[in-house]
Amino acid sequence: MLKRSKYCCSFKLCVPDGDNRERLVCNVCGHIEYDNPKIVVGLVAIDNGRVLLCKRDINPQKGFWTLPAGFLEHGESPEEGALREASEEANAIAKIETLLSIYSIPEIGLVQLFYRAKLLNKDVSAGEETQAVGLFSKDEIPWSSLAFPSVEWALKHYQEIGSKKQFAPFTNP
């Protein structure tokens, strides 16, 4: 097999030997371009019982509230990715306490990990993709203006455990 060059690939869809589903396979070098689900990582960052939410300034769901979260990048652990997203979206500095939940949305090829974290700075502010940030107590959460079902799940699951130390991570309700 030829060594793969970044630029040689001319893909066709076929089932590689020993595989059982169609993949994009390069005619020239044989490289198989696997297309697998993506990982989203996010934080439920808490300050004195209040949770940090970001009002999205990008589509989808522009204008709706979300937890700081985004796609994991190469070279990052999930924890590092979640902290980076909180920094980018809300200028937040946080300390991760524990894994809160793992949700999967097979229809769109996503696995989402949310961590419960302690928010460390008071001066959170809207980042590039955010219109506004806010800290919401239990009774203030804008349930009817949340961007995604998984944001609602993570907030409800956080409310179930509060600051409890021992619990099994939640999955899709």
The site for Zn ion (CB under 5 A) is made up of 8-9, 26, 28-29, 31
- According to DSSP, the β-strands at 38-47 and 110-119 are parallel
CB-nearer residue toward Zn ion: 29 or 135 = 29
Q: How far is the CB of 5 from Zn ion (least distance, A)?
A: 7
Tokens representing 52?
A: 């940090």
29 and 9 Cβ atoms separated by less than 8 Å: yes
- Whole-angstrom Cα distance, residue 65 to residue 62? 8
* Cβ proximity to Zn ion, 8 vs 15, nearer residue: 8
* Smaller CB separation from Zn ion, 22 or 73: 22
Q: Minimal distance in Å, beta carbon 36 to Zn ion?
A: 19
Residue 10 or 36 having the CB closest to Zn ion: 10
What backbone phi and psi angles, to 5 degrees, belong to 149?
A: -55, -40
Minimum CB distance to Zn ion, residue 111 (Å): 28
Provide, rounded to whole angstroms, the least separation between the CB of residue 1 and Zn ion: 10
